[in-house]
Structure formats: structure tokens, C-alpha cells
Amino acid sequence: MNKKAILDSVKKLREISKKRKFPQTLDFQLNLHKLDLKKAENRIDIFLQLPHSKGKKPKICALVGKELATKAKIFDKVIPQEEFSQYSKDKKVLKKLAREYDYFIAQANLMAEVGKAFGKALAPIGKMPNPKAGCIVPPVAPLEPLKAKLENMIHIQTKDKPSIKVMAGSESMSDEELTDNIEKIYSAIVHEIPNEKINVKSTIIKFTMSKPVQLTEKGPAISQEVKETKDES
């Protein structure tokens, strides 16, 4: 994707967007075609480090033993090993926890217990502690680098629909920063699909409450239709 075309599209999106009382997020959506997602080799499941912040810090929950209990206090919530069973017994509390936090990290030697206590709620929505994201850590791991890494990370994955939607940033960011993030996301997805650009039907950007703008090599175009998908990154 031409970088100037992306930048022009971001500028166009700002022009057509009404000012809101809150900083809107920028969503990037890529629609696929000529790709059978029933085949495992055609599915995408990657964690991507963005060049710039997403404009919103992720909420992180740590599932740890006594070895990391103190270090883990840098995260938004810490659930010690002795409290795991309390969550596994209360489905409502467990589901609320799964929705509230973006990433879950776990102490490596406790993964069997984590899976047993939290797996039913976290696994179906793709939030189980994942080694690809560095979220399974040894009992002696330094956690500050992981926190910094997760703040700029997104989870890109295909599900049952031929569409990928992720948060690429916030309208509070500069046009250049948004452009860099969008370019990185687009390149990462294209690199993962079998026939690269041939499998790309369309790409769209939009703010939370704006009309969508379609990205093309020739420049921005107002999109008339967007297929909404659930975003869990």
C-alpha cells in the first residue's frame, strides 16, 4: 500500500469526521476474498508490535504465584494462585474478568492451573496467555519490558468471516503516526496470506463514529458499505 495514499486517506477521514467529546479510536479493516478460511494454513493469528502507541493503554491482568506477586503490581490487576479457584467457581465473575482485560499474563509453571481455572472464559475469545505475545513468563522474569511491549501490541486474527478489524490508533495521534501504524498492519497481514494482495478485497479506515474511508493506491474514497466484525485486540 502506497504510504502517501494512506496519509491522504487519514487526512480525508479527519475532514469528514465530526468532532466528538471524546477521542475516537481509529479502526482498520481489511476484507479478504478468494481465501478458504476453513483451512488452517489460510488463517492468521499473529501479535504485532506497532511503531507508535494505539492512543489507549491496554488493561493487563496477571495470573501469578508468590514469586511474581510483588513484581506484577505494575499491571492493572493481579490474581494470586490461591485465588484462582474463586474465579473458576463463579461463571459471571469469570466472564466479566475476561471482557474487562485486554491481555492476561501467566507464570509458566502455573499454566495447567490457569487453563483449568480461566480457560473456559478466556480461550473462546482468544485471551488465554499466549507465548507468541510473551505472556507466559518464568517465575524470575522482569515484567517492565513486557508491559511496555504490550502497550503497543495488537492481536491480528481471522475468524469465521473473511474480514479482519483491529484498532490502529486514536484521533489524538498525528496523521503521520496513524499512517505508520496502518502501513505496518497492512504489510503484516498481506505477508501472512497465501496470495498476498490478490486475497485483499478492500481496506477501510474509520473513527468510532465516522463514516468509513476506503484505502486505495490512488487515494481515499468514501466507502458505502462496511461489514462490521467484533474486535478483540
pLDDT tens-place string over residues 66-100: 999 999 999 999 999 999 999 988 899 999 999 99
Pair 161, 215 in one domain: yes
Would residue 229 count as lying in a domain? no
List the CATH number of the domain containing 17: 3.30.190.20
Pair 177, 209 in one domain: yes
C-alpha 121 chain-centroid distance: 18
Residue 164 amino acid letter: I
Q: What is the pLDDT along the chain (233 residues), one digit of tens a residue?
A: 889 999 999 999 999 999 898 989 999 999 999 999 989 889 999 999 999 988 888 999 999 999 999 999 999 999 999 999 999 888 999 999 999 999 999 999 999 999 999 999 999 988 999 999 999 999 999 999 999 999 999 999 998 899 999 999 999 999 999 999 999 999 999 999 999 999 999 999 999 999 999 998 766 666 554 444 334 33
Pair 83, 46 in one domain: no
Would residue 232 count as lying in a domain? no
Pair 35, 91 in one domain: no
Q: Which domain, by its residues, includes 206?
A: 3-54+153-222
Would residue 90 count as lying in a domain? yes
Residue 203 amino acid letter: T
- Count the domains in the chain: 2
Which of 151, 174, 196 marks a domain boundary?
151
Name the phi and psi angles at 62, rounded to 5. Answer: -105, 130
pTM of the model as a whole: 0.84
Measure the N-to-C terminal CA separation of the chain; round to a whole number of Å. 22
Which of 151, 173, 207 marks a domain boundary?
151
Among all chains, which residue has been given the C-alpha cell 467457581? 89
CA pair distance 104, 126, nearest whole angstrom: 10
